[in-house]
Amino acid sequence: MIDLAYRIHCLMVNRKYNEKDIFFLILILIQSSLLTAQDFGNDLMSLSQIQNDVRTKRISSSDVTYGNADCIGGIEEGDKVTLMDVKGAGIIQHIWITINPKPTVLSRNDLILRMYWDGNSYPSVEAPLGPFFGNGWSEYYPFYSLPLIVAPHSAYVCYFSMPFSQGARIEIENQAEQTLRSLYYYIDYIEMDNLPENSGRFHAWFNHEVTGRSVAQDENWKYGLPTGGGINKYGEGNYIFADIKGKGHLVGVNYYVNNPSPNWYGEGDDMIFIDGEKIPSLNGTGTEDYFNTSWSPKELFMLPYFGYARVNDDIGYIGRTHLYRFHITDPVYFSESCRYTIEHQDANMEIFDLASVAYWYQEKASKLPLAISKEDRKHKPLIHFKHILNWRGAWLKEMGGDPYLWGDERKER
C-alpha cells in the first residue's frame, strides 16, 4: 500500500501518467486500505480468522474426581468462595452461573460478585449477583440481551470480554442469611502471551438510592395538576449510575425502578458529564427516550441493546420496572472522567427506590466508588392495594366525607 502511494506521487511529480493510470492506481490503493483496516472482530467473519498463540481455557465447578458432584456446596453467610484465580495474560469470554436455593429463599441481592484484575487488591467489578446479570429485587424473570442473559430457571450468563495482563481473580461472597447450598459455574477464557494493543479493563458498579421528593410536587399531586417545569442545569441531585475517574468508555446500564405511586416514573433526563464539564454535553430528553422508547411505555420487550425486561403489572405505573441500555455500537468515550447520571422524574421531583449496575472499560484496572452496604441495599416493599385504599380514605376525609364522592372530584384551591 505504501509502495502504491509512492508510485502515484512519483507519477504526479514527473507528469508521466495518464488519467486512466492514476484512476486505477488510486482504486487499488483504496481497496488495499479497506482490506488492511477491516475489523473482523464484530461480525461472523471473525470466526474464520485463525489465531496465533491463543489457547482456550476453562475453570468450572466440575467434580475433580470426574463424578457428578459438579458444584461447590455449603457456602454459609459471610463465606467467600474463589471461582477463578489465574496468572498471566488472557481474556474472559464467557461466564455461566446457577445456584440453589431459589431467589425467594436466598436473595440474589446479597450474593456479591467481585472481579480483580492484574493482581490488584481492590475489585474493578463489585455488584450483587442478580442485578449484575439482569435480575433485580431478588426476583427471577427471563432477561435476554447481547452481553447479559438470565436464561430459564436462573441461569446467569455473561459475554462481556474481560481482558487481563497480570492475572484475574473472581469471587462470590454470601451476605445472605441463608446457606448457599450449591454453586455451579463455567468461566471460559483465552490464554495468550500478550494482550491486543489498547485492551481495556472491564468495570461494573452497583448503586442504590431511595430518592427524595419536593413539597411542590406533593401540592401538584393533591389537586391532580400536571407536574414538571423544573430547572436542573447542573444535574444536582441526579441519581448516579457511575462516577468514573480515568480514561475509557461506557458500555451500558441495567436500571431497576420501584415506583410507589401510579404516576409515570419517567421524564427524568439522562445527563452524562464528560471530563469534568459542569454542564453535560450529553443531555437527554427523558428516561424513556434514553432507553430508546417513547410516550410512557408499559410493554415487556427485549432487544440485543435495549429493552424493558420487567414491567409493573399494577395500577398505573406503581411497582417495579427493569430498563436496560447497552452502548455496544455507540460507546460513550471519555479521557479523564465520566459522571453518568439520570434525573428521577423532571428536575428530580419524585421519590423512587432506584438501583442500577453500570458497565464500562478503562485504560487500566481502577478502584470503584464505595460499595453499597447490605443495609443500604435493602429495597422498599411494593405498594399494595391496601395502601391505595388508605390514600382514598385520607382524600375522602379531606374532601369533607361526603358519602357520594366518586373519586375524581377536585377540591377548590
Place of cell 475453570: 59
3-state secondary structure of 311: coil
pLDDT given for residue 231 in this prediction? 85
pLDDT given for residue 227 in this prediction? 53
Number of helices and strands in the chain (H, E): 7, 23
CA dist list (Å): 281 to 194, 291, 393: 36, 18, 47
pLDDT given for residue 28 in this prediction? 52
- The predicted-structure confidence for 352-398, as pLDDT tens digits, reads as follows 999 999 999 999 999 999 899 999 999 999 998 899 899 999 989 99
- The predicted-structure confidence for 106-148, as pLDDT tens digits, reads as follows 999 999 999 999 999 999 999 999 999 999 999 999 999 999 9
The rounded percent of the chain whose pLDDT value lies above 90 is 71
DSSP code string of 42-96: GSGGGGGPPPSSEEEEEEE---TTSSS--SEEEE-TT-EEEEEEE-SEEEEEEEE
Burial class (CB in 10 A: 0-12, 13-18, 19+), 362: buried
pLDDT given for residue 119 in this prediction? 96
Place of cell 399494595: 384
- The predicted-structure confidence for 241-254, as pLDDT tens digits, reads as follows 999 999 999 999 99
Is the alpha carbon torsion for 301, 111, 160, 210 positive or negative? positive
What 8-state DSSP symbol labels residue 104? T
277: pLDDT strictly greater than 90: yes
> Chain-wide mean pLDDT for the chain?
88
40: pLDDT strictly greater than 50: no
10: pLDDT strictly greater than 60: no
Strand partners, 233: none
Distance CA 227, CA 173 (A): 43
Q: In order of start, what are the domains of the chain with their CATH numbers?
A: 54-192 (2.60.120.1390), 201-382 (2.60.120.1390)
